């Protein structure tokens, strides 16, 4: 059984990640890991829960850190 607090937090993951990003010097990858640890979520399951904009920001950050096997095309 999933409690209502968990459902509420899944809907607001992007807001919480953005808020943590603004409050700290952490990147999107670190913020996502922190939120996962805070709510006892598996990092692998986040792919389905995150909105496209957060996924894109994580992908861009990973590309800048050379963590991807492929190159992301960006306008910047």
In order along its 76 residues, the chain shows pLDDT tens digits of 344 455 555 668 889 999 999 999 999 999 999 998 988 888 888 888 888 999 999 999 999 998 888 776 665 5
- pLDDT at position 72 is 65
- pLDDT at position 32 is 93
C-alpha span between 16 and 1 (Å, rounded): 24
The token pair at 57 is 């920001």
| Angle between helical axes of 28-38 and 13-23 (0-180°, round to 10) | 120
- pLDDT at position 75 is 57
Q: How many other C-beta atoms can be found within 10 angstroms of the C-beta atom of residue 5?
A: 9
Q: pTM of the predicted model, to two decimals?
A: 0.76
For the chain, the distance separating the N- and C-terminal CA atoms, rounded to the nearest angstrom, is: 45
């Amino acid at each position: 059984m999933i409690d209502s607090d968990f459902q509420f937090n899944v809907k607001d993951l992007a807001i919480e990640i953005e808020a943590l990003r603004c409050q700290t010097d952490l990147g999107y990858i670190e913020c996502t890991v922190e939120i996962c640890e805070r709510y006892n979520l598996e990092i692998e399951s986040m792919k389905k829960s995150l909105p496209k904009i957060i996924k894109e920001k994580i992908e861009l950050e990973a590309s800048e850190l050379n963590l991807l096997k492929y190159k992301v095309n960006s306008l910047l």
